[in-house]
Amino acid sequence: MFSLIAFFILSAAYRAFRIRSIEGSILMASALIVLLGLSFGVIITQWIPATGLAANLRIETWSSWVLGVVSLPALRAIDFGVGLGALAMGLRIWLGIERGALFGE
Amino acid sequence: MDEAADTKSGLLWKLQNIDRRILYLVLLVVVAIPVLRPMNITNAVDPMSEALWKTIDATPADKIVLVSSTWSKATRGENGGQTRALMEHLMNRRIRFALSSFTAPGAQVILDIVRDMAPRYNYQYGRDWVHLGFQASPNNFVKGINADFRKTVRQDFVEKKPLDAFPMMARVKSIDDVHMVVEISASAVHNIWMQFIKPGVRVGFCPTSVMAPESLPYYSSRQLAGVLWGAKGAYDYEQLNVRNGTGRYGMGREYMAPLSAAFALVIVSITIGNVAMFLGRKQTRRGGSGS
């Protein structure tokens, strides 16, 4: 049942992923790198040695870099943001400052 | 015919606006071919998968692995392959394990898989593995087994007997006797383990692909000992099993080719849409119709 999403992902990706700005280009480039790194894309750079300096040119290294260096800090920032937000809201309720949902107009 | 109508009938316009039903049909064909004719896909094993494999492989003889199964048939394509690959490894290395689940279907799906595989490896219930069953309160279960398995789980899932009835559990008193916990899940259940488990116990996570990025910060900070990234993670684990003689290929390899074919189609369709858009714009600037 979960796999039915594939049809909608294909249609949405085809329609939405159009390079109309620099930000759009960066988003598409990173998405392609991660997609290739997670699937058949490894074949493209298979001829490059897996060890040494040249290994940095392999698609899976690029994919790991995008996930580990670009995406990871953003995810961590979201986690911190959510945590701090929950803490702040907890304090507001605890101290009786937050009245909107329960007592507000 | 005016210019707008002429543009809409042009090839470049059509390539930018392919009917979704045609895309669905192409996807169906593209995915069906590798399903009907299985093929090998070249794969580079992810370090996160390797970390999980190595941690499980280093399980001492006097400890067990606790496998928590919080998934259902809806995510069988990813979690099923992960579970089978993991079980192949555990059974080949003769590592004893306990099963548990935070959802009722999760307890049954892993039981079906283990029952299917156990005879091949002469794995006996009670001697080599036990099933602790569905745990309705995840927080209390994790906090409970930190101190005492018997007080937390009154009876097992399969034979409905107290844990003392099973030889395997004779030396397993608390979480100190567990080398590693592996959570196979379609949701962010790893948080429960990381929040409540006794510090020092290794936690591995096998999520679906959509859930995997959420776990990256915890792998990076070493709160997770390893992560299997969806179907690719299952294939990674199978490759590690084959490479080290602790298992064979199965669902992971079977599902990787259709997945790769679908990814390829996504990339091709995005490229077609963009190339047509650029050429169309170029022609419009020159004063053409874009056809």
Beta-carbon separation of B273 and A17 below 8 A: yes
pLDDT for B1 equals 41
Q: Are strands B97-101 and B202-206 parallel, antiparallel or unpaired?
A: unpaired
pLDDT for B2 equals 43
pLDDT for A62 equals 93
Of B31, B214, B278, nearest to A75 by CB-CB distance is: B214
Whether the predicted pLDDT of B206 surpasses 90:
yes
Of A2, A40, A42, nearest to B75 by CB-CB distance is: A2
Of A39, A43, A71, nearest to B213 by CB-CB distance is: A71
**Residue B222 gets which letter from DSSP?**
T
Task: For residue B90, tell me if it sits in a domain.
Answer: yes
Q: How far apart, in whole angstroms, are the C-alpha atoms of residue B52 and residue B233?
A: 10
CATH number at residue B239: 3.40.50
CA-to-CA dists, residue B265 to A27, B31, B215, B254, angstroms: 18, 9, 28, 18
The pair of structure tokens assigned to B227 is: 């992560």
pLDDT digits (tens, 9 = 90+) for B81-98: 999 999 999 999 999 999
Please indicate if any CB of chain B lies within 8 Å of the CB of A22.
Answer: no
* B117-136 as b/e: b if 16+ CB within 10 A: bbeeeebebbebbbbbbbbe
List the B178-185 sheet strands across, edge first: B129-134, B97-101, B64-70, B178-185, B202-206, B226-227
Instruction: For residue B271, give the amino acid letter.
Output: T
Residue B224: give the domain boundaries.
47-248
Whether the predicted pLDDT of A1 surpasses 80:
no
Question: Which region, left, alpha or beta, applies to residue B230 given φ > 0 means left and ψ of -120 to 50 means alpha?
Answer: left
pLDDT for A19 equals 87
Instruction: For residue B18, give the amino acid letter.
Output: I
Interface test with B, best of A11, A36, A38, A44 (most B CBs within 10 A): A38
Nearest residue in chain B measured CA to CA from A60: B44
Residue A103 or residue B239, greater confidence:
B239
Taking contacts as CB-CB distances below 8 angstroms, the residues of chain B near A72 are: 216-217, 220
Of B75, B208, B217, nearest to A76 by CB-CB distance is: B217
What mean pLDDT comes out for the span B99-111?
96
Q: How confident is the model at residue A104 (pLDDT cuts 50, 70, 90)?
A: low
Q: How far apart, in whole angstroms, are the C-alpha atoms of residue A89 and residue B249?
A: 50
Beta-carbon separation of B277 and A7 below 8 A: no
Query: How many domains is chain B partitioned into structurally?
Result: 1
What mean pLDDT comes out for the span A39-55?
87
Percentage above 70 pLDDT, chain A: 92
pLDDT digits (tens, 9 = 90+) for B110-122: 999 999 999 999 9
Q: How confident is the model at residue B291 (pLDDT cuts 50, 70, 90)?
A: very low
Beta-carbon separation of B42 and A42 below 8 A: yes
pLDDT for B5 equals 43
Q: How confident is the model at residue B50 (pLDDT cuts 50, 70, 90)?
A: very high
Mapping DSSP to helix (H, G, I), strand (E, B) and coil, where does residue B130 land?
Answer: strand
Query: In angstroms, what separates the C-alpha of A7 from chain B's closest C-alpha?
Result: 6
CA-to-CA dists, residue A34 to A42, B159, B227, B256, angstroms: 11, 46, 17, 15
Residue B104 or residue A2, greater confidence:
B104
Q: How confident is the model at residue B7 (pLDDT cuts 50, 70, 90)?
A: low
The pair of structure tokens assigned to A85 is: 């937000």
pLDDT for B284 equals 82
Taking contacts as CB-CB distances below 8 angstroms, the residues of chain B near A18 are: 273-274, 277
In this structure, chain B runs to a length of 291
The pair of structure tokens assigned to B160 is: 């409905």
Which residue has 């049954």 as its token pair? B108
Mapping DSSP to helix (H, G, I), strand (E, B) and coil, where does residue B154 land?
Answer: coil
The pair of structure tokens assigned to B113 is: 């898989």
Residues 6+ apart with CB under 8 A from B163: B130, B149, B150, B153, B155, B156, B169, B172
Task: For residue B282, tell me if it sits in a domain.
Answer: no
Of B20, B74, B267, nearest to A32 by CB-CB distance is: B267
Q: How far apart, in whole angstroms, are the C-alpha atoms of residue A38 and residue A52?
A: 21
What mean pLDDT comes out for the span B203-228?
93
Taking contacts as CB-CB distances below 8 angstroms, the residues of chain B near A13 are: 266, 269-270
Beta-carbon separation of A72 and B47 below 8 A: no
Which residue has 């689940």 as its token pair? B101
pLDDT digits (tens, 9 = 90+) for B161-180: 999 999 999 989 999 999 99
pLDDT digits (tens, 9 = 90+) for B15-32: 888 999 999 999 999 999
Q: Are strands B178-185 and B202-206 parallel, antiparallel or unpaired?
A: parallel
Q: How confident is the model at residue B283 (pLDDT cuts 50, 70, 90)?
A: confident
**Residue B125 gets which letter from DSSP?**
B
Query: In angstroms, what separates the C-alpha of B283 from chain A's closest C-alpha?
Result: 17
pLDDT for B289 equals 52
Nearest residue in chain A measured CA to CA from B265: A10
User: Is this prediction's ipTM beyond 0.85?
Assistant: no
* B182 CB neighbour count, 10 Å cutoff: 27
Please indicate if any CB of chain B lies within 8 Å of the CB of A25.
Answer: no
**Residue B198 gets which letter from DSSP?**
P
What mean pLDDT comes out for the span B92-107?
96
CA-to-CA dists, residue A82 to A32, A72, A77, A79, B159, angstroms: 29, 15, 9, 5, 43
CA atoms in the 13 A half-sphere facing the CB of A27:
11
Q: How far apart, in whole angstroms, are the C-alpha atoms of residue B55 and residue A102?
A: 49
Interface test with A, best of B263, B279, B282 (most A CBs within 10 A): B263
Residue contacts between A and B (CB atoms, under 8 Å): 95
**Gap between the terminal Cα atoms of chain B:** 14
Task: For residue B264, tell me if it sits in a domain.
Answer: no
Which residue has 């097992």 as its token pair? B156
